[in-house]
Amino acid sequence: MPRIPTVELSRYLLTGHIASPACLGRTRAALPAGKNARAALPWRQQHLQPRLQQQQARYLTTETNTTTTNASTPPPPTAPFRKQLKEQAKALKKSGQKKKKSSDNQTVPGWELTVGIEIHAQLNTAHKLFSSATTSSFNDSPNTHVAPFDLALPGSQPLFQPATLVPAIRAALALNCSIQPVSRFDRKHYFHWDQPSGYQITQFYEPFAKDGYITLYARDGIAAEDGEEVKVGIKQVQMEQDTAKTTAQPGETQWLDFNRVGVPLIEIITLPEIHHPATAAALVRKVQMVLGSVDACVSGLEEGGLRADVNVSVRRTGESGLGQRTEIKNLSSFKAVEDAVIAERDRQIKLLESGGKVLGETRGWSLGSTETKRLRGKEGEVDYRYMPDPDLGPVVIGDDLVQRLKETMGTLPDAEADALMERYHLSAKDALALMLLDGGARVQYFYNVLDSLEERIAATAAEEGQGQAIPEKGAEHATLAANWCLHELGKLADSASSSESCSSGLEMTPQGESPLVPSSSLAAILFHLHSRSITAKVAKDLLWAVYRGEVPSSSSSSGDPSQGRRQDGITAYITTHNLWFKELSEAEYAKLADEVIQGEEKVLGEFVKWKQGKMKAYPQGKLMYLVGKMMRNGPEGRVEANGAERVLRAVLERWVEQSEGGQ
């Protein structure tokens, strides 16, 4: 084959232009069908010259057949995670298999499970690990944050960005690791279309952090068999570069986005000390909270900022040594971690009990599956030909930097959970939910709402001349604020995730603010609800009105809590629409109660039986049925559940006494 001129070679490398397709066409026709055919064909590289940006498609493609695919077609939209779970449930039901409850599926008699986990987390940095290119967000156009080294162009060399060390060290310290004063980068050689250089730069031999641990408690969701707490060791934390993002298209075409190449990652490698599926999922969840609390990671597991690989093996109870492990790659949710571990454990046990042998291989898991599927084999250890990177020097980390980062670490999840439960009297479930939602921003939103609510209550007390101090901040009203921040806001988020026109949810910022539902607006609603100025139904309607943009933000008022009642947007909206609660009088409640019990002889008979001692428990359900009837039949917006229940109890007692006297 004659030598290719330099000009033609540069056009091919930079733009994918082929001067004479004859040779390539003959080669393509001679290639066998299969996986090796992909590796032999070229990539199209775009967005490298400004003049070409308007002419070429935004996605780089790897073509594996002769059919031409329209590169300008946008990628198919990703289904919301809630919808994926529904599809999984439908597929499981269709297959005729009934899934065991998670709590009943943690152990198999006669067998012991061992799990080790590798978590890849994208660091919160402005630049890539070895180039000056900026990191991209999820909404950026493909292949717009690319430097020459990211594409492995000839002559380009890595330039380590020291700022990427800061979030990495924070993460390692939060995981109780020992920071190494000197670490080095190595090359991990393998070929794949998402890795243009043919190797990945990582820290195999000398990582920057070692010998850590993470403690999981019962409140974190570990298996009941693990007791109140379990400690899992962390072998090492290493820095490495990410690969390109691959988007599968119809046929055998892959779209490549090189924005992600070179993005800094840390890989957290645990010791094989996990023995129950629920504990494996709890560890990944806890690591995500820890990384978010120290601002080390950009997003969570389900948003793509974390990726978890689990190594699973089983052995008979009492056997020494570990069984042959298999690896399950790229699990994208906590539920997927637990379900995949259960499925792979059961597959291996079934295989061994039938006389088979577990092979070392890489397997995959997808929503809706009932078992893992084989991706590729590992006949012995894969030879990645690790070698020190000759273009990068050692990374030296000073003790002063480590000490400074320790002092400015902030509050870790365990300490924050303890504070939420002890100071604000929240349940462990509510505390952890607040800390986990919106990447940790929901708990900050809760603090903002609670502070604003307490300020309003204190200002109103002072304005009315009560002269009394409110209880310790959060002690009395935190439950009200937490319920609304979790459940009522959760309904808004669910509505947003199920709507194609509003897929951004609450758009919560790390500072705990939502432009759709400002914390000051929710605090104003809760203030009026707490003071019984509005009903719960009106409060919920107001929240939806704020979410739809029908109510001016309360933050646009004077900002003085003492003026909030007169000037904020919530108060003005309530006044304009005449939504203030005007509760019925005692006489009106009694008249309404007499009306609703008419024709309810069967229900009233339950109260007579209880009075006569024929029933052990008070018929509370029947009482609430009548309360609901009062609220439906009464004037809209004037019946309050507690007031209706109180008056109805008195009316029923009088009716029962009269009924017994007439017998």
Which runs of E-coded beta strand occur in 435-529?
none
Angle formed at CA 530 by CA 524 and CA 531, multiple of 5 degrees? 95
pLDDT at 549 over 80: yes
Q: What is the mean pLDDT of residues 449-476?
A: 73
Between CA 208 and CA 185 the distance in angstroms is 10
Residues 641-651: tens digit of each pLDDT: 888 999 999 99
Per the listing, tokens 């008022």 go with 557
Give the pLDDT score at 212: 97
522: left (phi over 0), alpha (psi -120 to 50) or beta: alpha
pLDDT band at 463 (very low <50, low <70, confident <90, very high): confident
CA atoms within 13 A on the CB side of 55: 11
pLDDT tens digits, one per residue of 38-79: 333 343 333 334 333 433 433 343 433 333 334 444 445 555
Percentage of the chain beyond pLDDT 70 is 78
30 pLDDT higher than 50: no
Task: Give residue 583's pLDDT.
Answer: 82
> 502 to each of 191, 441, 551, how far by Cα in Å?
40, 20, 18
What confidence tens digit (pLDDT) does each residue in 294-343 have? 989 877 777 778 999 999 999 999 998 899 999 999 898 899 999 999 99
Say whether pLDDT at 274 is over 90: yes
* pLDDT (mean) for 364-383: 76
Q: How many Cα atoms within 13 Å fall on the side-chain side of residue 76?
A: 8
| pTM, two decimal places | 0.72
| pLDDT band with cut points at 50, 70 and 90 for residue 275 | very high
Kind of pairing between the strands at 209-217 and 229-241? antiparallel
pLDDT of residue 460: 84
The confidence score (pLDDT) of residue 562 equals: 45
CB 257 within 8 A of CB 145: no
Tell me: the pLDDT tens digits for 566-624?
457 899 999 898 888 888 888 999 999 999 999 898 999 999 889 888 888 899 999 99
- Return the higher-pLDDT residue of 640 and 232: 232
**Which token pair is 548?**
């739809």
Provide CB contacts within 8 A for 111, sequence distance 6+: 314, 315, 316, 317, 345, 349
What's the confidence (pLDDT) of residue 317? 93
Cβ-contact 239, 180 below 8 angstroms: no
Task: Tell me the pLDDT tens digit for each residue of 193-227.
Answer: 888 999 999 999 999 999 999 999 999 999 999 99
Q: What is the pLDDT of residues 374-415, one digit of tens each?
A: 987 765 556 789 999 999 999 999 999 999 999 998 889 999
pLDDT confidence of residue 53: 42
The pLDDT confidence band at residue 466, using thresholds 50, 70 and 90, is low
Main-chain dihedrals φ then ψ at residue 125, nearest 5 degrees = -130, 160
The radius of gyration of the chain from alpha carbons, rounded to an integer in Å, stands at 31
